[in-house]
Amino acid sequence: MAVGRILKRIILGQAMASDKLHETLLPKRFALPIFASDALSSVAYAPDEIFLTLGLAGGTLALTHSWMIALAVIFVMVVVVASYRQNVHAYPSGGGDYEVATVNLGPRAGLTVASALLVDYVLTVAVSISSGIANASTSMRFIRGHEALYAVVLVVLLTAMNLRGVRESGKAFALPTYAFMVGVLGMGVIGAVRHYSGSLPMSDSAGFELAPSPGHGSLGTLAFAFLLLRAFSSGCAALTGVEAISNGVPAFKPPKSKNAATTLLLMGGVAVTMLWSIISLARWTNVKLAEDPATQLLRDGTPVGDTYVQDTIMGQISKAVFSDFHVGVVFMSVVTGIILVLAANTAFNGFPVLGSILARDGFLPRQLHSRGDRLAFSNGILILAGAAAALIVIFNADVTRLIQLYIVGVFVSFTTSQIGMIRHWNRHLAVEQDTRARARMQRSRIVNSVGAAMSGTVLLVVLATKFIHGAGFAIAAMVVLYLIMTAIRRHYGMVERELEVVDTTSQMLPARVHALVLVSKLHKPTLRALAYARATRPHTLEAVTVDVDPEDTHALQREWEERGIPITLKALHSPYREITNPIVDYVKAIRRSSPREIVVVYVPEYVVGHWYEQLLHNQTALRLRARLHFTPGVMVASVPWQLRSSQGQEERFEGDPSAMPGAVRMGQ
């Protein structure tokens, strides 16, 4: 067995047959950590973004207004969760927002949603892992300065885990996800008890004065309102991942829709509770968070300088709540870092499934629709990992810079999906006669109408406040992706029309078959090719060589005659010592003289056992085949001759389809 195959089985596990797909379906206890980890973990960095934005104005604005922003974000989250519960019941096939928009608003709307979601999934991985690294560095100082490197390593590890399959990744991620939930909720309870008992200490940054950043020193009413809107749009990062469950309904155990809706409700309830807990603790402990801590944070009127290391809100409040219990600080740092890394797993489940649906519909390469040998959409997983790793390197794992690109895609899909659901209910109400069913549909339509209004409003706020800060790049990426997918669909449509059988003329037998056997020298591969060509009984059979060296050509012709080979050997003149062009010109001449005659070119080739041997053989045959493939009416037949070094190589492929050429393209 090849070393590569052994390593693959160690990393990914044994291949799974297609009839085992039902074994990969998820119960709610595994579905929650898989599909909800993004939404749950976003409460670890959404408060940071609220405080950072409000902190631009300096003073105590973050402490006095953060709770208002948090309530607004929570209200939007409640509405969106309620809206998506309607989605999973109405469209349980797994298309999610893409399917809702396509069915109710048309293919262009669906493709717009798909573009937004694909971009957002990539950003989810980049932001989540970068944020996880930032939180982990609170207790792991060796990470500082090398965030991008550790983030890319984590992307690789997460990719390997997801290539093992959805269910196995769910088992691996369940414990840390639940540990994070218990940690945050437990910290909230302990913090509340200590706060109301008067024993909760202040955060490390509470003693600093927060100076405004340049240009934010004195804000007018309009500028102040704009800053609040910008803080609200940043806080709406807490809503990312809500749509993932609607895309992953097929992965749930039956009853799929009911289990998905229940998981969505659990996720919303836990996320809301954790977000309010963290904001409350940050206010109680007087956390100060600055975009530029070296200059904005003042100690006795003097900037703290570059030597001060600013922890995240989660890090600061955990040190305050667990001031006498350092293990609790380490625990919160570790589980927060882990959950933020695992939050990317939501994208690793959503992106490949959506990519598979788009490939099925012809908007992405067909290979994305194929499952790998662990029944996961391997190609989609690898593409997502590569794109996210590139973003992490480009932005040096800087969460504040990355998150500016974030959110806009989520609310594009939220808004379009909810509008689509309104049309869905309108269409069904037009034909439904049952009174109880109509009442239920009308309630659902109201929920989706409120969801559309809220998500549309947030989208406008995000575009207004974040466009010049990075959201414009995300929109540009969506436009480019939309155009690429449109071009791919156009290409597939063109190919389908070109290959469509409209009559039987293309199935008519050729008038004659003219066979050519290419000869470089008289040896065993040549004799095998001649025998194979004769066995096919063509109307005309001739051997062809190219006269590059007259002496060698004459020697070949003499040996040909001495051996009495009963096939004509034609030498093609080549004054410039070319091999490919004379053969191609000769084949074209045959086609011109007899357009209904099919030309079959037999090419003897060596089969070698090592890649470096391939560099020494078959190069002319490769160039010739490439040229002849573009010539109408010409067939190319490869006649292999196995050299000694290739003996035993067929064992690599026996029983392991993933070792076959093209396995990667098939998703294996």
Q: Please name the residues in contact with 112: beta carbons below 8 A apart, sequence gap of 6 or more.
A: 101, 412, 416, 478, 482
Residue 471, pLDDT score = 76
Strands (E), 534-593: 540-547, 568-573
Mean pLDDT of 539-558: 91
Enumerate the CATH 1.20.1740.10 domain ranges in the chain, comma separated: 8-15+22-492
351 pLDDT higher than 60: yes
User: Of the candidates 226, 266, 251, 321, which has an alpha carbon nearest to the alpha carbon of residue 39?
Assistant: 266
At 192, the pLDDT band (50, 70, 90 cuts) reads: very high
The CATH-assigned architecture of domain 8-15+22-492 is Up-down Bundle (1.20)
Higher pLDDT, 152 or 217: 152
**Residue found under tokens 């840390």:** 176
At 664, the pLDDT band (50, 70, 90 cuts) reads: very low
Mean pLDDT of 457-468: 80
Enumerate the CATH 3.40.50 domain ranges in the chain, comma separated: 508-659
The total number of residues written for the chain in this structure = 668
Between β-strands 512-518 and 597-607, what pairing exists: parallel, antiparallel or unpaired? parallel
Classify residue 354 as exposed, middle or buried by CB count within 10 Å of its CB (0-12, 13-18, 19+): buried
- Specify the amino acid at residue 199: S
Higher pLDDT, 59 or 545: 545
594-620 pLDDT, tens digit per residue, is 888 889 999 988 887 777 777 777 778
Residues in a beta bridge with 607 = 642
Q: Please name the residues in contact with 111: beta carbons below 8 A apart, sequence gap of 6 or more.
A: 102, 363, 482, 485, 486
Higher pLDDT, 304 or 611: 304
Domain boundaries 508-659, corresponding CATH code: 3.40.50
- What CA–CA distance (Å, rounded) separates 73 from 228? 12
Residue 215, pLDDT score = 67
Higher pLDDT, 655 or 84: 84
pTM equals 0.70
- Specify the amino acid at residue 282: A
665 pLDDT higher than 60: no
Residues 13, 168: contact at Cβ < 8 Å?
yes
Residue 661, pLDDT score = 44
474-525 pLDDT, tens digit per residue, is 889 999 999 999 999 999 888 888 777 666 555 556 678 899 999 988 888 8
At 349, the pLDDT band (50, 70, 90 cuts) reads: confident
**Residue found under tokens 């997801």:** 162
Mean pLDDT of 171-190: 87
**Which structure tokens are listed for 208?**
């600093």
Which of 197-201, 245-249, 394-398, 429-433 is the least confident region? 245-249
- Helix, strand, or coil here: 636? strand
Of the chain, the percentage scoring pLDDT greater than 90 comes to 25
Residue 186, pLDDT score = 95
**Which structure tokens are listed for 420?**
């689509």
- What CA–CA distance (Å, rounded) separates 107 from 471? 24
Residue 272, pLDDT score = 92
Mean pLDDT of 216-237: 77
Higher pLDDT, 562 or 43: 562
What is the maximal distance between C-alpha atoms in the chain?
Answer: 109
Residue 18, pLDDT score = 42
Residue 379, pLDDT score = 85
At 318, the pLDDT band (50, 70, 90 cuts) reads: very high
CA atoms within 13 Å, Cβ hemisphere of 554: 3
201 pLDDT higher than 90: yes
The angle that helices 46-54 and 313-321 make with each other, rounded to 10 degrees, is 100
Strands (E), 182-242: 209-210
Residue 489, pLDDT score = 92
Q: Please name the residues in contact with 350: beta carbons below 8 A apart, sequence gap of 6 or more.
A: 96, 117, 121, 243, 244, 247, 248
Residues 120, 475: contact at Cβ < 8 Å?
no
**Residue found under tokens 């769910």:** 170
Residue 555, pLDDT score = 92
At 307, the pLDDT band (50, 70, 90 cuts) reads: confident
Mean pLDDT of 411-419: 87
- What CA–CA distance (Å, rounded) separates 106 from 98? 10
- Helix, strand, or coil here: 662? coil
Residue 321, pLDDT score = 95
Residues 544, 538: contact at Cβ < 8 Å?
no
Of the chain, the percentage scoring pLDDT greater than 70 comes to 87
Q: How many CB atoms lie within 10 A of CB 422?
A: 18
Residues 372, 665: contact at Cβ < 8 Å?
no
Residue 660, pLDDT score = 46
Mean pLDDT of 560-569: 91
At 226, the pLDDT band (50, 70, 90 cuts) reads: confident
